[in-house]
Structure 1
Amino acid sequence: MNSSNICIIGAGSFGTALANSMALNRQNEILLYSIEPDVVSDINKNHENSKYLLHTRLCERISATAEIEDAMRCDMLMLAIPSRHVIDFVLKNKPVFEKAKLVINLAKGFGRDGKNIAEDLEENLTVAVGSLKGPSFASELINHTPTAFTFSSRDTLFFGEMMQVLKGTGLHLDFTTDIRGVEILSIAKNVYAIVLGIIDATFNSANSRFLVFTRAVNEIRSILKRFGADPETIFNYCGIGDLGLTALNDLSRNRTMGLFIGKGFFTGDLSESIVLEGKQALMTLASSVAPKGFNPEFPILCNLRRLLEGNISPGEFVSEIVSN
């Protein structure tokens, strides 16, 4: 693979930040695709993306386009668009993706019909598919802060090629062939970030925080088993690393929502108030592991569903979570 031909599809904050880091490797020529003409113009003319990342100068080797056909000259296509749009976008532009050697999913969330995105892509494309996930805030990535990701593909040869692409960029990789596990972990961490937010709002205690964090890790391992993934994948960057970042850092929207719930800011029907990806992920995961309502193997997940459906109060939720 020619590592200089890379297209990141989606020029929001994360796609742009990743492009700026990857451009530190002078062998990489990075193309950003956006449906927003003002973003494309800003990147090409001013070397900025002021709509999503203020006061940040981008590498001049990054170019942008609003024509998806321009991606056909790239060997590696990386999907950084919202998870709910990924599969429809790929199918609409399937000839573009079939020209690539490797398509990598960056989106964190379920795709169509509760499927994980990478495996849905594998079902619909004949080219190789990978997943890249890890503890990464765009606001730090854009400043070239050392950042870690897990790369996953069925073919181990692509790991070596990814290492070459990211050489000298400050981006660090580990690897697994467990694509399903990587995808599920990127979804589950949003759910447990809400939980840790509620716990921290209630106790503001390191002891309580890590009591629940440890239980969350074990419960996520059980989720991985239930989905037929490798529970050991949680020890990759995409596992404990991304869970820790999302659940313990106040830049996380899902953790912040948990803090608001724990402090009593939502006094009405929580099921109507909360629309974050963490809630959406919760409902899909819970319907898979606890279709009959409550499964004692997954007490955190099931009790959070009860809370967000309005069946228990935040105080009752906390009591259930910290009890033996």
Structure 2
Amino acid sequence: MEIGVIGAGSWGTTLADLLAKKGFTVTLWAYEKDLVERMGRSRENDLYLPGVALSENLSFTSDLTEAVAFKKVLVLVPPSQLMRQVMSRAVPHIAPDTVLVSASKGIENETLQTMSEVLNDLLAPDLNRRLAFLSGPSFAREVAAGMPTAVVATSGDSEIARKVQEIFSTEVFRVYTNDDVIGVELGGALKNVIALAAGVSDGLGFGYNTRAALITRGLAEMTRIGMAMGANPATFSGLAGMGDLVLTCTGDLSRNRTVGMELGRGRSLEEILAGMNMVAEGVKTTLSTFQLAQKLQIEVPIVEQMYLILYQGKEARQAVTDLMLRELKPEGV
């Protein structure tokens, strides 16, 4: 089976390597021609996944047509805000019997669409039916190191979800199936916003009590949005919801938590992002999520405060104070 992976960030590279080590013939597409050349010479992605030796079954290209044409499976891992741009170029070259697996997590800024909605705009009906999504608690570097990991594959077609499950599963990478596409997608996107808030809390020097409150109440906000969009609330108690949320709010490898910590320490967003070569999806997803919640008329106080910090220049410590001094109420989703 020939597989194309679109996007050579840390997660795209890790998934490409995982599949290549299973014996599949895998082509990894990167936008940066110089990175493609270096990966071909050194068998290493020195920009996004340094120190990891990549499989000999893995080839590299900066030619998008080469990466997608005649492939039985395409794994889509561009930054979520670039999904539409990249896939608009790729779609004319995709075979009609291809299985597409999106592993990008985010909500498009301009349209407030999830990745399934973006791809539905671009794909013919036959390809739409062959579309799946992979999400769950999975730091790329730990997966690349062979640490046991569990994720979720979801699709509108249960046979496609099971096929993706079989393709990706290994002795250390366990894939469950789930039929709630919108819930799995929203879990993967919204947890990044809450992880920013958890990072802000850590950066301000607050402790485990504060982090636990943010995770729990953040999950409630994620669930409210999900239910308003037709998701199964049980999804947010699983790997794509609580699992991914706990990971990104507590793990030192979380880019979103790291950005939040630096904000809490008083650094500007521009300064923080200038020093990063990888994308912290939560920054742009915060804007989308805040606007989506307004559209749905849903109360999301943590998301709102993160929006005010990132886009209105609010002081992080004042945001925490304002969260704590909100009107008292019963606990509940």
- For structure 1, list consecutive stretches of 5 or more residues without a partner in the other structure: none
Matches of 1:39 and 1:259, distance apart in 2: 30
- 1:14 maps to 2:11: yes
Matches within 5 A, 1:281-300: 281-291=285-295, 297-300=299-302
Instruction: Give the alignment's TM-score, normalised by structure 1.
Output: 0.87
Q: Which moved more, 1:36-45 or 1:188-197?
A: 36-45
Are the aligned partners of 1:32 and 1:64 in contact in 2 as well (CA < 8 Å)? yes
- Aligned equivalent of 1:246: 248
- 1:36 maps to 2:36: no
Q: Work out which of the residue numbers 88, 91, 104 in structure 2 matches 1:91.
A: 88
Are the aligned partners of 1:212 and 1:321 in contact in 2 as well (CA < 8 Å)? no
Show CA shifts across 1:100-158 (max 9, x none): 42111111222352211122212321212111112222222222222222111011112
Q: Which moved more, 1:205-214 or 1:93-102?
A: 93-102
* CA 55–256 in structure 1, closer or farther in 2 if over 3 Å, else same: closer
Show CA shifts across 1:29-65 (max 9, x none): 2221223333333444443333333332211111223
Matches within 5 A, 1:65-84: 65-70=61-66, 71-84=68-81
Calculate percent identity across the aligned residue pairs: 29
**Aligned-pair Cα RMSD in Å:** 2.5
Show CA shifts across 1:149-196 (max 9, x none): 211101111232223212435211122222222222222111111111
Are the aligned partners of 1:131 and 1:179 in contact in 2 as well (CA < 8 Å)? yes
* CA 207–256 in structure 1, closer or farther in 2 if over 3 Å, else same: same
Are the aligned partners of 1:77 and 1:100 in contact in 2 as well (CA < 8 Å)? no
- Aligned equivalent of 2:51: 55
* CA 110–98 in structure 1, closer or farther in 2 if over 3 Å, else same: farther
Matches within 5 A, 1:248-287: 248-266=250-268, 277-287=281-291
Q: Residue 62 of structure 2 aligns to which amino acid in structure 1?
A: A
Are the aligned partners of 1:72 and 1:99 in contact in 2 as well (CA < 8 Å)? no
Are the aligned partners of 2:21 and 2:57 in contact in 1 as well (CA < 8 Å)? no
SS of the residue 2:176 aligns to: strand
Matches of 2:206 and 2:33, distance apart in 1: 45
- 1:223 maps to 2:220: no
- Aligned equivalent of 1:101: 98
SS of the residue 1:173 aligns to: strand
Q: Work out which of the residue numbers 99, 111, 115 in structure 2 matches 1:113.
A: 111
* CA 180–296 in structure 1, closer or farther in 2 if over 3 Å, else same: closer
Offset at 1:75? Answer: 0.9
SS of the residue 1:69 aligns to: helix
Are the aligned partners of 1:24 and 1:169 in contact in 2 as well (CA < 8 Å)? no
Q: Which moved more, 1:65-74 or 1:302-311?
A: 302-311
Show CA shifts across 1:250-302 (max 9, x none): 32222122222323334xxx7x777653232122211222259xx78322222
* CA 34–199 in structure 1, closer or farther in 2 if over 3 Å, else same: closer
Are the aligned partners of 1:182 and 1:238 in contact in 2 as well (CA < 8 Å)? yes
Matches of 2:310 and 2:35, distance apart in 1: 37
SS of the residue 1:162 aligns to: helix
SS of the residue 2:175 aligns to: strand
Matches of 1:41 and 1:18, distance apart in 2: 19
Are the aligned partners of 2:80 and 2:281 in contact in 1 as well (CA < 8 Å)? no
Count of residues paired in the alignment = 314
- Aligned equivalent of 2:331: none
* CA 322–22 in structure 1, closer or farther in 2 if over 3 Å, else same: farther
Q: Residue 9 of structure 1 aligns to which amino acid in structure 2?
A: I
Matches of 1:169 and 1:42, distance apart in 2: 30
Q: Residue 195 of structure 1 aligns to which amino acid in structure 2?
A: A
Matches of 1:283 and 1:250, distance apart in 2: 24
- For structure 2, list consecutive stretches of 5 or more residues without a partner in the other structure: 274-279, 329-333
Are the aligned partners of 1:8 and 1:15 in contact in 2 as well (CA < 8 Å)? yes
Matches within 5 A, 1:146-161: 146-161=148-163
Matches within 5 A, 1:130-149: 130-149=132-151
